[in-house]
Amino acid sequence: MSTIQINCRAILSDLDGTLIDSLKCVDYAWEAWATDHALDIDWIKKSAHGMRTADSLKLLVPHLDLATEMKALEDLECSVTTDLVEIAGAKTFLNSLPKAHWAIVTSGSRRLANHRLGHVGLPRPTVFVTADDVTAGKPDPQCYLKAAQGLGIDPADCIVLEDSPAGIKAGKAAGARVIAIGFSRADHDISAADFVVHDLTRMRVVSSRDGTLMISLDTSEK
User: Active site residue: 14, 21, 157, 163, which one?
Assistant: 14
Q: Is 21 a catalytic residue?
A: no
- At 83, the amino acid letter reads D
Residue 34 sits at φ, ψ, to 5 deg, of: -65, -40
Q: Shortest CA distance to 217 belongs to which of 199, 203, 207?
A: 203
Positive/negative CA dihedral, 107, 57, 174, 151: negative
Residue 92's CB: how many other CB atoms inside 10 A?
14
16 annotated active-site? yes
User: Could you tell me which residues are beta bridge partners of residue 127?
Assistant: 103
How far is the C-alpha of 124 from the C-alpha of 84, rounded, in Å?
A: 17
With CA atoms as reference, report the closest residue to 166 among 10, 18, 11. 18
Q: Please list the helix, strand and coil fractions of the chain in percent, rounded to the nearest 5, in that order.
A: 40, 20, 35
93 residue type, one letter:
F
| Residues involved in catalysis | 14, 16
